Structure 1
Amino acid sequence: METSTFNKLKQKAGNLLEPRLLQTGRVLDVRPWAPSTMIEIDLHLPFTNMEHWEQVPYIKFRVDPLTYRDYTPSGWDAETSTCTIFVDALHNGPGAKWARSLKVNDTVSYFKKICYTQHQPDQTSAIIALGDESSVGHLLALQKMVLPHTRFSGGIVMGNEDHRKQFHEFLWTPIEPVERRDVYGHHSLMQWVLKQKYSLENTIFYLTGNSTMVGQLRKLLKQQGYPSSQIKAQGFWS
């Protein structure tokens, strides 16, 4: 009885608050990768200003009543107000269920206010992006902001071999897929970094993905002599 009453109150609050906070958009295309634990979604968001994004943005989508998840547009077209997001659907959470349910022409709801991370390309000769499956959109958005493009490279740890192949096949990016050999991925990425023999000077690392990987990878980079000022971290979930 108490749970039922709580759910009714929650639904009532949502009905009152959400219309004031949310805008709507439309699904243009849905492209699940095989296996479909990675989903690429094209969206038309006509009420969103996509010009002059100087930091990596993220959009808070409504994935269930009073339930929201943040996704980063991997690329955007300011003229047509269209963008693409990637959803890591390996976990059976609200965001993954929402992404798996989407079809062409479905309506999506999202917060009117676009939020930003602290990831903005520095004026340095080498920008190295490191992440996991949950940060595909973030890494590609960062790449879009780096000019000239030759300054940008990186690695993304992915557990599924087919996804690593499709990452190369589907996306134009210098980011290299890295096989996941540990649970969170930080050891796999660190081994990859050491093989690249990056300079200690003029190199800035941008770390994104699950919080455990990001935190541990930051420690490993500092052990290699990289100062905190050259490591910019953005953890997504624990």
Structure 2
Amino acid sequence: MELSIARQFKNKVQNVINHRLLKQGKVLDIRYWPNSPLIEIDLHLPGAAMHQWSEVPAIKFNVGEWYFRDYTPFGWDAETSTCSLLIDAAHNGPGSCWAKSLTIGQTVQYLKTESTHQTPHGTHLVVALGDNTSLAHLLALRQMTLPAIRFTCAVLTDSAATGQLLKSYFPWSPALHLNEDALVNWLLTEQYCTDHTSFYLTGNKALVVRLRKVLKSLGHFNIKIKGFWG
């Protein structure tokens, strides 16, 4: 059957993107977290200028025909041009399906690396709050916070199993909560200094909006927001 004019045009545009704009990398390793929707993916991206990353980065990956998704590397090594992703694959969207389909040694394509325009405050206590969708962003903030003692974190996680894995996989322990009310109550009891604390709110829209309202009601104003929703 002859392709429609619209389809032919889309194919030509896709070919231009693939051949002229997309960069390539390789999957080095994949780790599926047991009893958790999280997938950890190690990549070699020789075209990414990681030594220039002064703010938390995001990489726009080609996850399917006409589909691109931004993912934040939660750790990277500029010397070897390697980085790791931590993807919440709980939903059957293009990004989740792409992450689940990857195999070791497979080539991945990405359009560009850009900044999320978030960087830890230079002297404040950095308080990062998020959920499963933004774990990589929280971890990247921690990597960029020096000294690390200035960083603290609380996470709304999907299950106790994911929480236990977080504690065992990383050398620091975020405060873990299984529902929004518990996270809000934790925040209300911490009594952070208004003038010397910066908050970084990440994750789904409803969570970010609620946490921002709570912080403002407490008089906090150093609040940065990064959403991870549609």
Q: Which residue of the partner structure matches residue 128 of structure 1? A: 127
| Corresponding position of 1:214 | 208
Residues matched between the structures, number: 229
Structure 2's unaligned 5+ residue stretches are none
Query: Which of 194, 214, 232 is the equivalent residue of 2:224?
Result: 232
| Worse-matched range after superposition: 203-212 or 9-18 | 9-18
> For residues 4 and 165 of structure 1, do their structure 2 counterparts lie closer, same or farther at Cα, with a shift above 3 Å needed?
farther
Q: CA separation in 2, counterparts of 1:7 and 1:217?
A: 45
For residues 185-235 of structure 1, give each alpha carbon's deviation from its aligned partner in whole angstroms, at most 9, with x where no partner exists: 3x43221212322222301100111122112211111011112xx111111
Shift of residue 17 of structure 1? 2.3
| Change in CA separation of 1:97 and 1:4 when aligned onto 2, cut-off 3 Å | farther
Q: Is the 8 A contact 1:121 1:127 kept in 2?
A: yes
- Counterpart-to-counterpart distance in 2, 1:78 and 1:168: 26
SS, match of residue 91 in structure 2:
coil
Instruction: Call closer, same or farther: CA 1:126–1:174 in 2, change over 3 Å.
Output: farther
Q: CA deviation at 1:36?
A: 4.7
**How do 1:69-84 residues align onto structure 2 when only pairs under 5 Å count?**
69-84=69-84
Which sits farther off after the overlay, 54-63 or 43-52? 43-52
CA distance in 1, matches of 2:97, 2:6: 23
How far the C-alpha of 1:4 sits from its partner, in A, is: 6.7
- Give me the identity figure in percent: 44
Kept after mapping to 2: 8 A contact 1:89/1:99: yes
Q: Deviations over 1:48-84 (max 9, x none)?
A: 1110311100000000012110000101011110000
RMSD: 1.8
In the alignment, the residues of structure 2 paired with residue 36 and residue 234 of structure 1 have an alpha-carbon distance, to the nearest angstrom, of 23
Task: Tell me the distance in 2 between the aligned counterparts of 1:67 and 1:7.
Answer: 16
- CA drift at 1:131: 0.6
Are the aligned partners of 1:127 and 1:203 in contact in 2 as well (CA < 8 Å)? yes
TM-score, with normalisation over the residues of structure 1? 0.90
- Structure 1 ranges of 4+ moved more than 3 A: 3-9
Deviations 1:105-158 (A, max 9, x none): 0110001x3110121111233110001101111011110111111100010110
- What TM-score comes out, normalization by structure 2 length? 0.93
Partner Cα separation in structure 2 for residue 127 and residue 103 of structure 1:
36
Cα pair 1:36 1:89 within 8 Å, conserved: no
Q: Distance in 1 between matches of 2:166 and 2:134?
A: 13
Counterpart of 1:48?
48
